[in-house]
Amino acid sequence: MLLKIDMHVHSCFSEDSLITPEELVFYAKKRGLDGVAVTDHDNLQGPLKIAAETDFLIIPGIEVGSSDGHVLGLNVKELIPPRLSATETVTRIHDAGGIAVACHPIGLFKGGLGRRTNSSFDAVEVINSSAIPFSYAVNQSMKIASRLGKPRVAGSDAHYGPEIGCAYTIVDAEPDANDVVKAVCRGLCKPFGNSIPWTIRLKKILAANRRRL
């Protein structure tokens, strides 16, 4: 079946995200998603807690700060150490039973892999709704995926509830985390989505300021 999945969302267990477990499921359903990959920075508390508390499809993941740039591990339930090389990080993700995605390889201020994206990855995140400048980042990331011959995925990189679903991946799989990542590896997926609208970016800044008061 065709599933609509946002492959890159941060819960409030990432220090820079405002999204509580309840909001994550609420906004995902509101946006008509079938599932969400929860990918916090070097932390697995969020996806494991949320997956245990809901029937909604949660793909447990992690965004690893490798020494070469950010790497997404999907279907990972154990911590992958940060600051290893990209290739070593991919090996650790595979050993943990997950797949490795080169997230936002291009874009300013994002810590992307750029030219260090290599053939050890299983997929390339060609659409990241938070990436700036958006169209340039999409075009260049598509080129990297083509050069490496890798499947393409998309995610919002949401850190605020209303950002969830701004980008998503259609995956031909059963609603099960193992099956979804296998389908991505086989290329049974297609990326969709847009940049986060400026009105929502502004609301996020206001919400973050309110939280600090």
Task: Tell me the closest approach of the beta carbon of residue 23 to Zn ion, in angstroms.
Answer: 17
Residue 157 found at the interface with Zn ion (CB under 5 A) = yes
Q: Facing residues of 177 across strands?
A: none
CA separation for the pair 61, 170 (Å, rounded): 18
Give the interface segment with Zn ion, choosing from 64-72, 117-125, 140-148, 188-196 (CB under 5 A): 64-72
Task: Tell me the closest approach of the beta carbon of residue 61 to Zn ion, in angstroms.
Answer: 10
* Cβ distance to Zn ion smaller for residue 140 or 188: 140
What one-letter code names the amino acid at 90? V
Give the interface segment with Zn ion, choosing from 90-98, 157-165, 169-177, 185-193 (CB under 5 A): 157-165
* Cβ distance to Zn ion smaller for residue 31 or 70: 70
CA separation for the pair 29, 27 (Å, rounded): 5
Q: Which residue is nearest to Zn ion (CB)?
A: 70
Phi and psi at residue 55, to the nearest 5°: -90, -10
Position among 31, 70, 152, 204 found at the interface with Zn ion (CB under 5 A): 70
Task: Tell me the closest approach of the beta carbon of residue 9 to Zn ion, in angstroms.
Answer: 8
Query: Residues 70, 144, 57, 9: what is their CA dihedral angle, to the nearest 10 degrees?
Result: 40
Residue with tokens 């996020």: 204
* Cβ distance to Zn ion smaller for residue 42 or 78: 42
Instruction: Give the count of residues interacting with Zn ion (CB under 5 A).
Output: 3
* Cβ distance to Zn ion smaller for residue 70 or 152: 70
Residue 163 found at the interface with Zn ion (CB under 5 A) = no
- With a CB cutoff of 8 Å and minimum separation 6, the contacts of 75 are 59, 60, 61, 97, 98, 99, 177, 178, 180, 181
Do 122 and 137 contact (CB within 8 A), yes or no? no
DSSP summary character for residue 15: T
Residue 150 found at the interface with Zn ion (CB under 5 A) = no
Do 51 and 35 contact (CB within 8 A), yes or no? no
Residue 68 found at the interface with Zn ion (CB under 5 A) = no
Give the interface segment with Zn ion, choosing from 19-27, 55-63, 119-127, 177-185 (CB under 5 A): 55-63
Q: Catalog residues that contact Zn ion under the rule CB under 5 A.
A: 63, 70, 157
